[in-house]
């Protein structure tokens, strides 16, 4: 009779792991915990290189299934710490805390799938499959393809003679399809390319979730110089290559097979290569991609600081309108005033008298006002999250194009609406704005407008470029309270300014409102949860960076080529390993 717990429900590849494998799991967990501290508000960008180096190490030592597991552990830790702030938004929808935590945990678990798949992919391309008589990879063997009969292959793969098992025998106890020794190909090409591929997929699949992409952590590092050239994915790619260089150097130092002289030469080459990436990026940071156009304009960003739990109350409506109107009227005739997302607590057509007062204010000072408000479309049940430009010449609208899933619209509504109704979770239902919308002409400048979530996507911002000379983002980060979310959102907006080479004005309800220059540096910043007005002078910028012209196409194309070559090389090496294994068993 067997005693003890029945663990058969746990997959064998987890139950049979040795102690050193569990240690590597812990390393993956710690690396994931480190990663969020490289992003705002902490800003220790070097941790991305260290964390990725640890992850790369434990993945390259693993079989694909173990690499998948370690990638998932890494992702759970990274997203569990880095995007836990999402649960804050549920309390404003009256979702019970246990359910909010459950939903947030589900999101974290889903996001962790991306680094898990990364681990599986690179372990596969590293050839970390055991090759034995029972291995499913025998289908890749040339002998299998020639004989077309697995039974014959099994008969020929007889056990090795006892002489081969002697202590000095020249045969591996467990043949593998590829060596586990450090590889320049693996550390500098496959691993960095695989990491950026999963970030890119995460940035567009199911609408996209680009938070905690490595490149954002480096907005203040020398690598930011690559942003106008290759965008946030190019910056992240350079950081991932740096992690590979660090890991390769570590293995070179530990190597006992190489002479000291060879190790010194190897380390010198690695240092020169890594230094070239960082110094070259710093040099690129000094390059001017765009030039001033038109006359400088005076701007004012209004941070109304209306608490989210009071924002839509009927009793709060008039005080909110009075606050924004008063703060605007107090300004010394700016050319452009920007209010946050949904600054007006209702639909645009609900405030005809208030809008008339704004028109009069814009005419008498004169000034131009951009404000966030919900608008109604021409079709039934068509509502937009919009920005309205109120100028002396009339009004113009921008309608948000990239909506937040489960926040502004419901994916698969036919299925999920019943679930949400059962859980009593309210859901907004905005319509998507037109895919192509011209920049708004204000104060002799063409303004590319984005609303909240859209500033997280470089591809959305460059849609208005290079025509737009100035960028404006309106947001309402009050949904996320005093958490990491608003800081991360500001950091992502800074990357948009860097990629495009344009000033970016960011007006938010409770913070963090900021004025950014074309290098993504913060010129002015309002404190969170305080009614504030940011003022300054900006200039429109003309021209197009390399990233504005080509977007993510260059980076994605190159990494796909690298990984496709990796697939063919892996298949070739695996066939050779399988043939060698067959010859060993035949001996």
Structural domain spans, the chain = 14-286+556-586, 291-402+434-544
DSSP 478: G
Neighbouring CB atoms inside 10 A of 298's CB total 17
Predicted confidence band of residue 238 (pLDDT cuts 50, 70, 90):
very high
Angle 214-215-219 from CA coordinates, rounded to 5°? 125
Return d(Cα 447, Cα 449) in angstroms, integer.
Answer: 6
pLDDT of residue 431: 85
Q: Residue 386, exposed/middle/buried by CB under 10 A (0-12, 13-18, 19+)? A: buried
Q: What is the DSSP string of 82-118?
A: HSGGGHHHHGGGT--HHHHHHHHHHHHHHHTHHHHHH
Q: Of residues 500 and 138, which shows the higher confidence score?
A: 500
For residues 464 and 20, which has the higher predicted lDDT (pLDDT)? 464
> Per-residue DSSP letters for 215-241?
GGGGTTSGGGGGHHHHHHHHHHHHHHH
Q: Give yes or no for residue 93 having a pLDDT over 80.
A: no
| Both tokens assigned to 45 | 């960008």
Residue whose entry in the numeric block shows the structure tokens 């959305």: 460
Q: Which residue has the higher pLDDT, 35 or 376?
A: 35
Average pLDDT score, the chain: 84
User: What CATH number is given for 291-402+434-544 in this structure?
Assistant: 3.60.110.10
Buried b (16+ CB within 10 A) or exposed e, 476-493: bbbbbbebbbbbbbbbbb
Q: Which of 38-47, 53-62, 148-157, 492-501 has the lowest mean pLDDT?
A: 148-157
Distances (CA, A) of 219 to 56, 284, 368, 439, 549: 23, 14, 31, 26, 21
Range of weakest confidence among 40-54, 273-287, 369-383: 369-383
Q: What does the alpha-carbon distance between residue 224 and residue 234 come to, in Å, rounded to a whole number?
A: 9
Above 70 in pLDDT, residue 13?
no
In the chain, the percentage of residues whose pLDDT exceeds 70 is 80
Catalytic positions are 341, 400, 452
Q: Which of 129, 187, 194 is closest to 570 using CA atoms?
A: 129
pLDDT of res. 171: 40
Report pLDDT digits (tens) over 42-83.
999 999 999 999 999 999 888 899 999 999 999 999 999 999
Is residue 578 scored above 60 in pLDDT?
Answer: yes
Which pairs count as long-range contacts for 150-153, CB under 8 Å and 24+ apart, including other chains?
153/582
**Which DSSP symbol is given to 347?**
B
What's the whole-number mean pLDDT along residues 514-527?
96
Residues 6+ apart with CB under 8 A from 182: 247, 248, 251, 252, 255
């Amino acid at each position: 009779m067997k005693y003890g717990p029945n663990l058969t429900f746990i997959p064998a590849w987890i139950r049979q792991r040795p102690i050193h494998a569990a240690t590597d799991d812990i390393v993956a967990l710690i690396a994931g915990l480190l990663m969020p501290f490289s992003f705002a508000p902490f800003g220790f960008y070097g941790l991305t290189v260290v964390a990725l180096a640890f992850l790369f190490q434990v993945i390259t030592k693993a079989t694909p299934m173990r690499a998948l597991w370690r990638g998932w552990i890494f992702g759970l830790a990274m997203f569990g710490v880095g995007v836990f702030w999402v649960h804050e938004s549920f309390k404003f929808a009256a979702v019970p805390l246990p359910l909010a935590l459950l939903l947030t945990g589900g999101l974290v678990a889903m996001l962790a799938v991306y680094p898990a798949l990364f681990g599986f992919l690179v372990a596969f391309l590293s050839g970390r499959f055991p090759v034995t008589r029972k291995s499913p990879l025998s289908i890749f063997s040339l002998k299998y393809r020639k004989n077309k009969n697995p039974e014959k292959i099994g008969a020929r793969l007889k056990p090795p003679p006892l002489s081969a098992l002697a202590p000095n025998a020249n045969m591996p106890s467990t043949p593998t399809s590829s060596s586990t020794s450090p590889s320049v190909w693996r550390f500098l090409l496959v691993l960095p390319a695989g990491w950026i591929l999963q970030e890119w997929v995460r940035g567009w699949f199911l609408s996209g979730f680009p938070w905690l992409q490595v490149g954002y952590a480096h907005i203040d590092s020398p690598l930011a110089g690559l942003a106008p050239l290759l965008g946030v994915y190019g910056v992240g790619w350079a950081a991932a290559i740096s992690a590979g260089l660090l890991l390769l150097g570590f293995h070179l130092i530990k190597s006992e097979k190489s002479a000291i002289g060879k190790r010194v030469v190897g380390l010198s080459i690695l240092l020169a290569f890594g230094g070239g990436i960082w110094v070259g990026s710093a040099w690129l940071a000094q390059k001017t991609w765009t030039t001033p156009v038109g006359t400088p304009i005076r701007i004012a960003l209004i941070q109304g600081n209306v608490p989210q739990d009071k924002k839509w109350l009927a009793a709060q409506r008039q005080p909110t309108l009075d606050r924004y109107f008063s703060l605007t009227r107090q300004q010394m005739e700016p050319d452009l005033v920007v209010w946050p997302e949904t600054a007006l607590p209702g639909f645009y057509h609900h405030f005809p008298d208030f809008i008339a007062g704004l028109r009069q204010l814009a005419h008498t000072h004169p000034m131009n006002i951009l404000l966030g408000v919900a608008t109604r479309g021409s079709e039934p049940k068509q509502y937009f999250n919009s920005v309205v430009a109120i100028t002396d010449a009339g009004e113009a609208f921008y309608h948000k194009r990239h909506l937040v899933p489960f926040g502004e619209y419901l994916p698969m509504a036919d299925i999920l609406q019943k679930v949400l109704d059962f859980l009593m979770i309210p859901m907004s239902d905005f319509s998507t704005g037109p895919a192509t919308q011209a920049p708004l002409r204000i104060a002799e400048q063409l303004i590319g407008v984005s609303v909240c979530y859209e500033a997280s996507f470089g591809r959305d911002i460059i849609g208005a470029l290079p025509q737009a000379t100035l960028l404006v983002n309106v947001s309402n980060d009050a949904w996320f309270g005093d958490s990491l979310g608003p800081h991360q959102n500001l950091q992502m907006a800074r990357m948009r300014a860097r990629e495009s080479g344009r000033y970016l004005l960011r007006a938010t309800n409770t913070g963090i409102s900021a004025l950014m220059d074309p290098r993504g540096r913060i010129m002015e910043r309002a404190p969170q949860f305080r009614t504030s007005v940011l003022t300054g002078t900006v200039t429109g910028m003309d021209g197009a960076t390399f990233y504005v012209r080509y977007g993510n196409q260059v980076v994605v194309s190159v990494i796909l080529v690298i990984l496709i070559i990796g697939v063919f090389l892996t298949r070739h090496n695996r066939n050779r390993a399988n043939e060698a294994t067959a010859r060993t068993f035949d001996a």
